[in-house]
């Protein structure tokens, strides 16, 4: 299992568990606020027509996150 997999590597339809949050600053707080803490289950539910951002199902809500931000959210699947 690749240990550096991030939210960015998820394809629509896949589910994963959050392993670590590397983001910093305001986006980190925002992500924590919406419940994206360690061990949270997320599902990638879609991608914007241009391929970015992607939408994730996080604790019952659908949230779009840009790929740059996704790459600092590590997962284990």
Partner 1 sequence: MGLTNSSTGIRAVDSGLEIRRQTPEDRVVALAGNPNVGKSTVFNGLTGLNQHTGNWPGKTVASAQGFCATRRHSYVMVDIPGTYSLMAHSAEEEVARNFICFGEPDAVVVVCDATCLERNLNLVLQTMEISSRVLVCVNLLDEAKRKGIQIDLGALSARLGVPVVGAVARKKQSLGHLMSELDRLIDGKIETHPLQVRYLRPIEDAIGIMEPLLRERFGERINPRWLSLRLLDAEPSLMEELKIRLGKDPLGDSEISAAVLRARDALAVQGITDANIKDKIVSCLVLTAEDLCLDTVACERNGYNTFDRRIDRILTSRWAGYPIMLLLLALVFWLTITGANIPSQLLADLLFRFQDNLTGLFLRIGAPDWLHGMLVLGAYRVLAWVVSVMLPPMAIFFPLFTLLEDSGYLPRIAYNLDKPFKKCSACGKQALTMCMGFGCNAAGIVGCRIIDSPRERLIAMITNNFVPCNGRFPMLIAMISIFFAGAAGGAFASLLSALMLTGFILLGIFATFAVSKLLSVTVLKGVPSSFTLELPPYRRPQIGRVIVRSIFDRTLFVLGRAAAVAAPAGLLLWLLANMTVGGQSLLAHCAGFLDPFARLLGLDGVILTAFLLGLPANEIVLPIIIMSYLSQGSILELESLNELYALLSANGWTWVTAVSVMLFSLMHWPCSTTLITIRRETGSLKWAAVSFLIPTLTGFLLCFLFANTARLLF
Contacts with partner 1 by CB under 8 A lie at 21, 23, 25-35, 37-38, 40, 45-53, 55, 57-66, 68-69
Q: Report the C-alpha gap between 58 and 4 in whole angstroms.
A: 20
Confirm if 55 and 66 have CB atoms less than 8 A apart: no
Confirm if 70 and 6 have CB atoms less than 8 A apart: yes
Name the residue nearer to partner 1 (CB basis): 1 or 25.
Answer: 25
Name the residue nearer to partner 1 (CB basis): 1 or 62.
Answer: 62
Name the residue nearer to partner 1 (CB basis): 2 or 25.
Answer: 25
């Amino acid at each position: 299992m690749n240990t550096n997999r991030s939210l960015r590597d998820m394809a629509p339809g896949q589910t994963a568990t959050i392993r670590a949050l590397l983001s910093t600053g305001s986006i980190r707080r925002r992500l924590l606020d919406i419940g994206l803490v360690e061990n949270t289950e997320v599902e990638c539910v879609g991608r914007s027509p241009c391929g970015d951002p992607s939408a994730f199902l996080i604790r019952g809500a659908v949230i779009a996150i840009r790929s740059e931000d996704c790459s600092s959210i590590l997962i284990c699947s």
